Amino acid sequence: MERITPYSVEKCLDVIPNRYEVALIAAQRARELKREGVSMYRTEALKEVAAGYLDQSYILKEENDIKRAKAEADSKLHNSKQSKGSRKN
């Protein structure tokens, strides 16, 4: 079982002074680590934040990736609807 203590979060606050941002960054990284099959993904995510490997720009990068993926999906959907509509004529 992983041990996440207030102390581990306190170490992260030395790098990122806002607890909310620490939570966002660590949660996003933990999801990635879990998909990769890392067993103690929460602890590893907090360690990476505390070591300074991740910062506020990490969230922005992820948000941009998500927006880009949604835009591509919407574009594909829009194009498929147009092509289906043109077939009816």
Task: Give this prediction's pTM.
Answer: 0.64
Please report the pLDDT score of residue 87 as a whole number. Answer: 57
Report which secondary-structure segment, H or E, holds 29.
helix 19-35
* Nearest CA-CA partner of 26 in 2, 1, 59: 59
Residue 23 located in a structural domain? yes
Q: What is the mean pLDDT of each run of 10 residues along the chain (89 residues)?
A: 71 90 91 92 92 83 74 78 62
Residue 74 located in a structural domain? yes
Please report the pLDDT score of residue 30 as a whole number. Answer: 93
- Domain count of the chain? 1
Residue 1 located in a structural domain? no
CA distances to 50, 54, 67, 76 from 15, in Å: 6, 9, 27, 40
Residue 83 located in a structural domain? yes
- ∠ Cα 71 37 22 (to 5°): 65
Give the CATH number, domain containing residue 57: 3.90.940
With b meaning 16 or more CB within 10 Å and e meaning fewer, what string describes 59-80?
Answer: beebeeeeeeeeeeeeeeeeee
Please report the pLDDT score of residue 6 as a whole number. Answer: 67
Residue 10 located in a structural domain? yes
38 is in which domain, residue-wise? 6-88
Please report the pLDDT score of residue 26 as a whole number. Answer: 92
Please report the pLDDT score of residue 65 as a whole number. Answer: 73
Please report the pLDDT score of residue 72 as a whole number. Answer: 80
